[in-house]
Structures are given as C-alpha cells and as structure tokens.
C-alpha cells in the first residue's frame, strides 16, 4: 500500500457522510470522527452530506479525492453507485470499487459467490420482496428453525429478526419489508459473534463481541455501554483460521482498500461467513478502530491509513 508523510499529497479531501439511507445517523457519527481525525493530521478535509452535493462539488473541481464514510444503499454510497460515478469522473476514493461494493451490499449474491467457491456461509433462501405467505413459510421449512430474516441489502442490524417459533415469522418478514429491496432468510448460527477488519492487505486481530443482552443488535452496537469487545477474539490456530477466511471472503467479492468481515463461530468451532462491510462504522463504538488499537494504530492514524488507500490509482 502506498504510504504518505505529507498531508498535502492528498489535496483537498471530501469526507462524504450522511446521505439518504436507513443508516444516515450512523454515517454522520462516523463522518464527524473521521473529519476531526484528518484535520488533526493536517489534511485539508471538508464535510459533504450525501451523493448529490458531493458530485456537484467534484464536478466543479473543489476536491481531489473522497473519503467515503457513507453507509448503506439507496443514497448510502456503499452499493457501487457512488463508486461508479467517482470512477467516471477520475476521482480517487477510499474503499472498494463498483464490483466489491455492489456484491458486498447484496447479501444474497455475496453468499452465492462464497458458496460457489466452497466458502462456509449459513444455509439461506432469497425471498423476493413480493413473496406471499406460502412462499415465506415454505422457505422457513427448508431452512428450519431457528432462523434469521433480514433485508438483503441493509446494514447496522436494521430490520433483522431472529425467529425461534413459526408463529413469529410473519412479524419478522413485516419488519424486514420496511426497508427497500428483497429479503434473505438464513440459518441462525448459535455461538460466538466475531468480526475481522482488513486494512490494505493487513488482516487485523479478530474481535469477539459479547453483548449484555442476547444479541448484538442496533442498540448494542451504537448506544449501549456494556457490550464487551475481546481482541483478539480467538487464540492460536482458531485465530489464524478466522483471519485467513476473512481475507478469502473479502477477496472473493472483489473488495479492496479496507473493510470488515462478520463471522459466526458455532459451538463446534466452525466458522460461518455472514457479510462484508466495505465502509464500516468509525464511531466511538465501532469495531475497526478497536481492532486497529489492538495493534497500536490509534484512531487518527487509522483514518490516515484508510485515506492512503485512495493513493493506489483509484479503487478497483
């Protein structure tokens, strides 16, 4: 990865945040942290809210590159749309390019790719948005209980339900349908929740997430102060295995720059891939900063290192 010592090498940087997705508030929290960190290192960084304002400013020649900390799809800037626009304008940016962003945002297609390559991911059934009650319940019988229902293209645990009784299935589907796009039903893996961060080609130590409640939901991620984060999450061969799997999953989807791979470890010690985040959260509760800190990379240095990934001649 290209390294930089002088903040002037980056030129004027747009830190794009907010946007119009369901993850707007998380993105704003992330963006404020990134903006302050880059400014503290002497980078000529400026906040921009959303894709239309960013593209207007870029076309007007106001920025040399973009630090993308938008989250989600449909105006969220994590689904390949923004990446394609910036590539067409010749503007370098952080994170994955069109292919990696689009594939990672679509959990169904992510899982198709991993399955084709023999990478482990929970059993799943894609559900078109208009699937009727019979189709939904047939899919549940294929998957078996317990299972998870979620929007196929959202993050930050929005719209996710864990279903232990078939009588709860219809409410779970109704919640997921509040968000755009198709749905995904998959086996609920019971065990330890892990996440592995990637910075350039460096795989950071895993984090084991131990929420006080039963699950690592939106509240545990962004609000609660009692969630435990154990880093590294595993030891010895198990840690090496989950890191290697995360990098293979990241590469399989065409991702680049930086990101985070979420994994479940079941009670038999098997690892199961859940999803890749190509613009992970950078809030005070977020996981990439915690993993970086474990290897001596502070928050400001982490933001600098992520920005350095945009010096590779543009994301792939």
The residues that are catalytic are 23, 156, 222, 260, 262, 275, 277, 281
Please name the helix (run of DSSP H) or strand (run of DSSP E) that holds residue 241, with its range, or none: helix 236-252
Distance of CA 100 to the CA centre of its chain: 11
Structural contact between residues 65 and 34, judged by C-beta atoms closer than 8 angstroms: no
Tokens of 210: 């131990």
Distance of CA 271 to the CA centre of its chain: 18
Could you give the CA distance from residue 250 to residue 245 in angstroms, rounded to a whole number? 9
Cα-based torsion angle of the residue sequence 206, 209, 215, 218 in order, rounded to the nearest 10 degrees: -90
Task: List the strands of the sheet with 124-127, edge to edge.
Answer: 124-127, 183-187, 147-151, 161-163
Could you give the CA distance from residue 150 to residue 146 in angstroms, rounded to a whole number? 14
Q: Where are the beta strands (DSSP E) in the chain?
A: 12-17, 44-49, 65-68, 124-127, 147-151, 161-163, 183-187, 191-199, 202-203, 207-210, 228-230, 258-266, 271-277
With 0-12 / 13-18 / 19 or more C-beta atoms within 10 angstroms meaning exposed / middle / buried, residue 49 is: middle
Distance of CA 65 to the CA centre of its chain: 21
Tokens of 46: 């400026």
Strands 183-187 and 124-127, bridge-based pairing: antiparallel
Q: What does R_g of the chain's alpha carbons equal in angstroms? A: 19
Could you give the CA distance from residue 210 to residue 220 in angstroms, rounded to a whole number? 9
């Amino acid at each position: 990865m290209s390294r930089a010592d002088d903040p002037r090498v980056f030129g004027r940087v747009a830190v794009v945040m907010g946007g119009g997705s369901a993850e707007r508030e998380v993105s704003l929290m992330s963006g404020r942290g990134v903006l302050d960190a880059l400014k503290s290192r002497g980078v000529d960084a400026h906040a921009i809210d959303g894709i239309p304002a960013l593209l207007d400013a870029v076309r007007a020649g106001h920025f040399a590159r973009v630090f993308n900390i938008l989250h989600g799809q449909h105006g969220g800037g994590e689904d390949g749309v923004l990446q394609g626009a910036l590539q067409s304008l010749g503007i370098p940016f952080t994170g994955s390019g069109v292919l990696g962003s689009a594939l990672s945002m679509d959990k169904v297609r992510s899982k198709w790719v991993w399955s084709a390559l023999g990478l482990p991911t929970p059993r799943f059934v894609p559900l078109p948005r208009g699937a009727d009650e019979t189709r939904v319940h047939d899919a549940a019988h294929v998957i078996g209980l317990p299972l998870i229902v979620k929007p196929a293209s959202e993050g930050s645990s929005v719209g996710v339900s864990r279903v232990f009784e078939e009588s709860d299935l219809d409410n779970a589907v109704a919640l997921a349908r509040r968000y755009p796009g198709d749905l995904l039903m998959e086996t609920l893996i019971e065990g330890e929740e892990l996440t592995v961060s990637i910075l350039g080609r460096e795989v950071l130590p895993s984090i084991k997430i131990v929420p006080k409640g039963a699950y690592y939901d939106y509240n545990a991620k962004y609000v609660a102060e009692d969630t435990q984060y154990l880093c590294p999450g595993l030891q010895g061969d198990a840690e090496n295995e989950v890191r290697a799997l995360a990098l293979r999953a990241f590469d399989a989807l065409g991702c680049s720059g930086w990101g985070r791979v979420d994994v479940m470890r079941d009670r038999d010690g098997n690892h199961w891939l859940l999803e890749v985040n190509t613009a992970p959260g950078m809030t005070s509760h977020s996981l990439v900063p915690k993993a970086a800190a474990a290897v001596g990379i502070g928050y400001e240095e982490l933001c600098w290192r992520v920005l350095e990934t945009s010096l590779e001649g543009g994301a792939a």
